[in-house]
Amino acid sequence: MSAAAPSRIAFAGERGSFAEDAVLAYAPGAEACPVAGFREVFEAVSNGGGLAAGVLPIENLVNGTVREVYDLLLEHGLIIVGEVIVPVRLCFAALPGETVESISTVYSHIQALGQAEAFLRSQPWSLLTTYNTAGSGRMIAERRERGAAAVLSPRAAAVFGLEVLVPDIQTEPLNRTRFLVVTRPGLAAPPEAPAPADSRPRRTTLAMTVRNEPGSLHRCLGVLKDAGLNMDKLESRPSRSRAWEYVFWIDADADLREPRVQAAFQDLEAASSTLRLLGSYAKAEEPAP
């Protein structure tokens, strides 16, 4: 890939999806490349083929953690080099000429249907799930399906030629999704991405297992406390290698370039059974309300 060529960044879903919004927000000059799913993002970036990075959702303000992505991070050898936060704005859209009263069937991803639950309860519509929000709009457009509407982003509605019947139907007006940017070890971040700034707070993400004995997790978390490192998030996922044991995921306010942080993680490695650092990267700025 030449230096003049735009980076190609993979995302899961359709054109117009929130994942594509994340690519465009993180690297406006990049080429956003849709693939079928989260696993396909990991495989596409791991295999190269001109793809510089991938963007994946990790948590939503309303629906919480995207646990499949945590599992795939452990399964593959990619590293986290950035994050971006995308506001979740949902609209009610259909083919031109439709009205709210003419709609009988509504399509969207199950999470989007839940995020617009208050609005969707206002009428006796049949609610049917699809694989993602933008995909529901594409399906209606390709079928030219009358009497059907999609719950999706305004940009996705425009991409598929749908008319917005009702804007901003999300129940939580400040809902947003945090996306991670992953790449292969040793590969520089996409050139279109914002240059790291020392003044921006940084986050370090790690996964660890602890000994199956009293106080083991407490001792590990005590290492972070003693080093003065704030823990943003602690998440547990079942270990796929041993029954009834768990992997603990930690997001810490920590810059791995600092010697004191490196020393703290060396102590944490000694206190835990296994420790894997997934990345240390600049925190995303919160979008304006």
pLDDT in tens, 230-274: 999 999 988 877 777 889 999 999 999 899 999 999 999 999 999
- Residues with Cβ within 8 Å of 29's Cβ and at least 6 positions away in sequence, in order, are 6, 7, 191, 192
Q: What class is the 202-282 domain?
A: alpha beta
pTM here?
Answer: 0.90
User: Residues 18, 130, 133, 177: which is the catalytic one?
Assistant: 177
Q: Does the active-site annotation cover 179? A: yes
* CATH code reported for the domain at 91-166: 3.40.190.10
The single residue of 179, 204, 209, 265 carrying the catalytic annotation is 179
- Give the model confidence (pLDDT) of 42-83 as tens digits: 999 999 778 989 999 999 998 899 999 999 999 999 999 999
Q: What residue ranges do the domains of the chain occupy?
A: 8-87+175-183, 91-166, 202-282
CATH number corresponding to 8-87+175-183: 3.40.190.10
The C-alpha atoms of residue 141 and residue 134 are separated, in whole angstroms, by 11
Active site residue 11: no
Cα–Cα nearest to 191, from 23, 29, 24:
29
* Angle between helices 67-75 and 38-46 in degrees, nearest 10: 30
